[in-house]
Amino acid sequence: MTDVQAEPLAAPGQVNAKIFPFPLNAWYAAAWDHEVTSQKPLARTVAGQPMALYRTADGRPVALADACWHRLAPLSMGTLVGRDGIQCPYHGLQYNSAGRCTKMPAQETVNPSALVTSYPVEQRYRYVWVWPGDPLLADPASIPDMHQMDSPEWAGDGLTIEAPCNYQLVLDNLMDLTHEEFVHHSSIGQDELSESEFTTRREADGSVSVTRWMRDVAPPPFWLKNIRDRFPDFDGRVDRWQIIHYYAPSTICIDVGVAPTGTGAPEGDRSQGVNGYVMNTITPETERSSHYFWAFMRNYRLDSQLITTQLREGVHGVFGEDEAMLAAQQRAIDANPGKEFYSLNIDAGGMWVRRILDEMLRSEGRV
């Protein structure tokens, strides 16, 4: 059952199974902060735009269009020069961090039109974020809230999945977690997922939340291990929660956990349980591929690197099952042009995501 706090969305049968475009006026995670260095450029395509990422000598991240003004050779294949520059690997043209050419081979005069796009860049929450759209609209305050990633009250780690599918399929997957019952039954899935009530809301800040509680249930293997990491003698039933928070265009942070039944977790007291955050930010690469950055953060046993590693590897295995399903879904979409998606109650959160993305695309004049 769902309590949807919103006006009705499209009726079942009215969502085309198509290739979904992506907004450009938005912040996207381009890389983990440790991937961008002052030793070698990193090639990364964000929202269809190839970029060369690097750091200046003082550590500031830079993102330039990955094509030299002269013959379009990839700058990401070049070398870093001076305090903030990059040199083309083909004919040696040099550019500063603003994208302006500062040196040309065999001539003293630099053509004033020689420049490449320099994208707005911010480093936050262990990621390097870029804005591929209108640079005048790039407000750092609109970077999605992922404060658990670098808060001293949380510990964890994550990885990147190069997902061979459209970014919106990943968003669908994360906004409806009933698929865990079927795709991840051996780890985090259980029958109560599709049986439990949930609420879907468009929040005042423009985000979307989906809240589900499973009361008095047996903990699935993943959560049984986690609660025993904190309480080794635990043996019993739990109250389990999943609270999904979506931030446009493509960041989803999921508040998850379990606590012994009857200890007050549904009322707000989680002190007897274990709490995690599944942090997800999905960056469209092309219409059929995505960079899926994720991490699992926890607020217990913060000093245990063993638990951090075990959780990262365990969640990586779970997400590998998602990756296989999403790749198969993309192949089916490509093989069935013109087919439609049908919507169930469980798709309420995903339908709100589509509406928000449509609003963003409409504001850019792209739908």
Considering the segment(s) 28-136 as one domain, its CATH architecture is 3-layer Sandwich (2.102)
pLDDT for the residue numbered 322: 86
Phi, psi dihedral angles at 166 (to 5 degrees): -65, 145
For the chain, the residue count is 367
d(CA 290, CA 61): 22
Residue type, 326: L
Query: Please, where in the chain does CATH 2.102.10.10 lie?
Result: 28-136
pLDDT for the residue numbered 346: 84
pLDDT for the residue numbered 185: 62
Look up the CATH superfamily of 2-7+144-363.
Naphthalene 1,2-dioxygenase Alpha Subunit; Chain A, domain 1 (3.90.380.10)
Residue the block writes with tokens 């990059």 = 86
d(CA 183, CA 186): 9
pLDDT for the residue numbered 179: 72
- At residue 148, the 3 state secondary structure works out as helix
Query: Please, where in the chain does CATH 3.90.380.10 lie?
Result: 2-7+144-363
Residue type, 123: Q
pLDDT for the residue numbered 345: 85
pLDDT for the residue numbered 177: 78
First-to-last C-alpha distance (Å) of the chain = 33
Whole-model pTM: value is: 0.92
pLDDT in tens, the chain (367 residues): 344 444 333 333 345 545 678 999 999 999 999 999 999 999 999 999 999 999 999 999 999 999 999 999 999 999 999 999 999 999 999 999 999 999 999 999 999 999 999 999 999 999 999 999 999 999 999 999 999 999 999 999 999 999 999 999 999 999 987 777 676 666 676 666 777 788 999 999 999 999 999 999 999 989 999 999 999 999 999 999 999 999 999 999 999 999 999 999 999 999 999 999 999 999 999 999 999 999 999 999 999 999 999 999 989 988 888 899 999 999 999 999 888 888 888 889 999 999 999 999 999 998 7
CB-based contact 14:342 (threshold 8 Å): no
Q: Which residues contact 194 (CB under 8 A, 6 or more apart)?
A: 178, 181, 346
